[in-house]
């Protein structure tokens, strides 16, 4: 379950007596026949065209529209052409301000969030979304942002420096949910070692099982890794990105250098923690052999749930600016900026070679024999891992249909 909508709902000033309708198009359709006094849409880059389509339709009917989220934060002037107001950055302070202004008839065209604290904020109103439609309804966040400045990442550009929620507030949120299994949506739970130790220690008495995102640095810190396992960590998403050292240097992800990825996997597996390993294809130093090397590593290392993406230059990132200055951006159809389409000209292969090589890697790693080999090698949470692998196998087997359908719209 996403937290953006439920967090915004909790921030609505009580004195407005607002009636709220939350719609997540990932699980349901927008009822365009319904009437509202105000419509607010949160957009990422891949959903920006759909968000603009909805915004234009509501405005055509005379309904004011607010646009926010990462894409309007990166391109506020573009978003402003489709909205009566744009919220730039986080919205904990500006969203209530905007709503009070709207009620008073003085809503401004733009709201920019200043310095933000995550302490003492209202808990997300999760009851406003139907939990039964989510495989993981209990989601939580402890931190936002990231300390690193990877070239392809939107986070430094859109959200600035990392911020932390008091651990006591995180624990209170988990307790009120009554969750036994939960997922941290934080981009890097171990960015601040002291904070990670405090958080994991506080989770121990809750007796929860949890998953989250981290960097490969966690494998080199026995104390933090042991605490994570003791606190109930059962799965981590790690961004390996590439097996090529030159590609890692290209990304600016220096902390992945001089690491044995096989040792990273072994050390995490030894604590009973499954790994979703993420790899990216399309760096300037990648060649045709990168696909086979990466697939073989995922199999040999017994990565529980490998995931492969095509390098995507999101607007506002250093990567986008570099490729744009080199004349290598092929389209500004934001709906194709989803990590599974080629929207730039690669350095060492054609766009089609990059696309088909990524597809081959997915299919090789998710053959039934490959799934069996990886899971037998890992032997961690086999029922859960098998279900997730079968889901990804279905995705891998249908990639060509997905690509061809989307390419036909260009």
The CATH number of whichever domain residue 320 belongs to comes to 3.80.30.20
The verdict on residue 122 lying in a domain is no
Alpha-carbon distance of 313 to 310, in angstroms, equals 10
Conformation bin of residue 160: beta by default, left when phi > 0, alpha when psi is -120 to 50: left
Could you tell me whether strands 85-88 and 233-241 are parallel, antiparallel, or unpaired per DSSP bridges? unpaired
Q: Which residue has the tokens 């929207």?
A: 343
Inside any domain, residue 128:
no
**Cα separation of 257 and 248, whole Å?**
7
Residues 85 and 188 in one domain: no
Q: Are residues 399 and 357 in the same domain?
A: yes
| CB-based contact 197:162 (threshold 8 Å) | no
- Together in a domain, 153 and 83: no
Of 103, 86, 111, 90, whose CA–CA distance to 14 is shortest? 103
Residues 147 and 247 in one domain: yes
Residue 50: predicted pLDDT: 97
pLDDT tens by residue, the chain, 410 residues: 999 999 999 999 999 999 999 999 999 999 888 899 999 999 999 999 999 999 999 999 999 999 999 999 999 999 999 999 999 999 999 999 999 999 999 999 999 988 889 999 999 999 999 999 999 999 999 999 888 888 898 988 888 788 999 999 999 999 999 989 999 999 999 999 999 999 999 999 999 999 999 999 999 999 999 999 999 999 999 999 999 888 888 887 777 766 799 999 999 999 999 999 999 999 999 999 999 999 999 999 999 999 999 999 999 999 999 999 999 999 999 999 999 999 999 999 999 999 999 999 999 999 999 999 999 999 998 999 999 999 999 999 998 776 654 443 33
List the beta bridge partners of residue 274. 235
Which residues have a Cβ under 8 Å from the Cβ of 127 and sit 6 or more positions away? Answer: none
Does any domain span residue 192?
yes
Do residue 351 and residue 244 come from a single domain? yes
Q: Structural domain tally of the chain?
A: 2
Predicted local distance difference test score (pLDDT) of residue 252: 77
Residue 61, domain extent: 4-112
Residues 6+ apart with CB under 8 A from 262: 297, 300, 301
Asked whether residue 310 is domain-assigned, the answer is yes
In a domain, 125, yes or no: no
Contact in structure between 191 and 224 (CB atoms under 8 Å): no
> Do 265 and 305 have their domain in common?
yes
CATH code at position 107: 3.40.50.280
Can you tell me the distance from the alpha carbon of 68 to that of 85, in angstroms, rounded to the nearest whole number?
Answer: 9
Mean pLDDT of the chain: 93
Give the domain-ending residue among 56, 79, 112: 112
Distance CA 256, CA 248 (A): 7
């Amino acid at each position: 379950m996403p937290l953006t909508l439920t967090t915004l709902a909790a921030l609505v000033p009580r004195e407005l007596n607002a009636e709220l309708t939350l719609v997540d198009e990932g699980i349901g359709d927008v009822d365009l026949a319904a009437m509202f006094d105000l419509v607010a849409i949160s957009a990422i880059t891949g959903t920006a065209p759909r968000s603009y389509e909805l915004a234009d339709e509501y405005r055509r009917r005379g309904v004011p529209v607010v646009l926010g989220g990462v894409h309007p934060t990166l391109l506020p002037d573009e978003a402003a052409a489709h909205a009566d107001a744009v919220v730039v950055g986080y919205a904990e302070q500006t969203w209530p301000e905007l709503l009070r202004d709207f009620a008073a008839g003085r809503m401004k065209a733009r709201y920019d969030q200043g310095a933000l604290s995550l302490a003492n904020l209202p808990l997300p109103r999760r009851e406003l979304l139907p939990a039964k439609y989510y495989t993981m309804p209990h989601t939580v966040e402890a931190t936002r942002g990231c300390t690193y400045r990877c070239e392809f990442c939107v986070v430094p550009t859109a959200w600035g420096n990392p911020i932390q929620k008091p651990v006591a507030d995180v624990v209170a949120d988990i307790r009120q949910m009554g969750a036994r299994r939960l997922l941290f949506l934080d981009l890097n739970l171990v960015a601040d070692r002291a904070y990670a130790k405090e958080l994991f220690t506080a989770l121990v008495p809750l007796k929860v099982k949890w998953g989250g995102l981290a960097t490969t640095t966690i494998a080199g810190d026995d104390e933090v890794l042991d605490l994570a396992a003791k606190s109930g960590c059962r799965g981590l998403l790690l961004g390996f990105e590439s097996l090529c050292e030159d590609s890692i240097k290209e990304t600016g992800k220096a902390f992945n250098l001089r690491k044995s990825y096989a040792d990273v996997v072994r050390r995490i597996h030894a604590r009973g923690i499954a790994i979703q390993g993420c790899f990216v294809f399309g760096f300037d130093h990648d060649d045709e052999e990168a696909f086979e090397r990466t697939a073989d590593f995922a199999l040999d290392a017994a990565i529980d749930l490998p995931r492969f993406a095509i390098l995507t230059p999101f607007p506002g990132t250093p990567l986008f600016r570099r490729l744009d200055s080199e004349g290598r951006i092929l389209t500004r159809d934001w709906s194709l900026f989803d990590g599974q389409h080629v929207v730039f000209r690669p350095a060492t292969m054609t766009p089609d070679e990059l696309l088909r090589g990524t597809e081959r890697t997915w299919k090789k790693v998710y053959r039934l024999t490959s799934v069996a080999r990886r899971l037998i090698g890992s032997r961690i949470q086999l029922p859960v891992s098998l279900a997730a692998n079968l889901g990804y196998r279905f995705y891998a087997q249908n990639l060509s249909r997905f690509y061809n359908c989307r390419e036909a719209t260009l």
